[in-house]
Amino acid sequence: MAFYETVFIARQELSAAQVEALAANLTEIITQGKGEITKTEFCGLRTLAYSIKKNRKGHYVLFNIEASAPTIKEMERQIGLNEDILRHLTIKLEKLDTEPSPLMQSKQSRDRRYESLGNDAYGSFEGDRE
Amino acid sequence: MNSIPVTRKPFFRRRKTCPFSGPDAIQIDYKDVKLLQKFTTERGKIMPSRITAVSQKKQRELAQAIKRARFIALMPYVLD
């Protein structure tokens, strides 16, 4: 079974319960296809970097999936049919990481690891031709 | 007292190493917005590897991660 990771964004009008119900029936599809979802993360309401279909915010949900390709295709088809899901992205991975994704702990600072990479370290490069 | 005209020190920058190819390198992940933002300009564009000294292999991975982050609206396509 291959490893996949799916992120999708649900409309902001949905309540948290509805989003969970949405995730549940996707899980249902995966388990029917004899796959399994090892990690489900509800990252809650986040403001989007740009508006998608007139929505400023969206519920982000992340799945770690171990399933066969036809099952994934079926899940993708269901996601495509569902209007509440604004956008989704499914990628194939070699291995699944189980620790919480950086999406979740936006508050919890992991900045000290990136100190050396600060933008200012690269000087004032705007890269704008004009 | 005339100050000796200091010859223009050649612009020397210590050889920067790629932050992603060391033994304990940071994993590039399209969900890690804080990390990816370090490699985009204020306008949201991807910085060239000649500036950030990222190795070519890791720059390709980084660019793909940034494009994925942009697709799921974690990062803007353009910031004005």
**pLDDT at site A8:** 94
**pLDDT at site B8:** 58
**pLDDT at site A43:** 86
- Which has the higher per-residue pLDDT, B9 or A84? A84
Tell me: domain A2-95, CATH 1.10.3720.10, correct?
A: no
Residue A106 has pLDDT above 90, yes or no: no
| Percentage of chain A modeled with pLDDT above 90 | 60
Question: With an 8 Å Cβ cutoff, are A102 and B68 in contact?
Answer: no
Task: Compute the average pLDDT of residues A31-47.
Answer: 90
Q: B46: how many CB neighbours lie within 10 A of its CB?
A: 17
- Closest-CA residue of B relative to A43 is B31
Q: What are the domain boundaries of chain A?
A: 2-95
CB A75 within 8 A of CB A32: no
Question: With an 8 Å Cβ cutoff, are B42 and A126 in contact?
Answer: yes
Q: What are phi and psi of A118, to 5 degrees?
A: -50, 150
CB A6 within 8 A of CB A93: no
- Closest-CA residue of A relative to B43 is A126
Q: Which residues contact B10 (CB under 8 A, 6 or more apart)?
A: none
**pLDDT at site B1:** 52
pTM for the full model? 0.82
Question: With an 8 Å Cβ cutoff, are A126 and B43 in contact?
Answer: yes
| Assembly ipTM | 0.83
**Interface size between A and B, measured as CB pairs under 8 A:** 72
**pLDDT at site B60:** 95
What is the helix (H) or strand (E) element at residue A55, kind and residue range?
strand A55-67
Task: Compute the average pLDDT of residues B25-53.
Answer: 90
- Closest-CA residue of A relative to B18 is A117
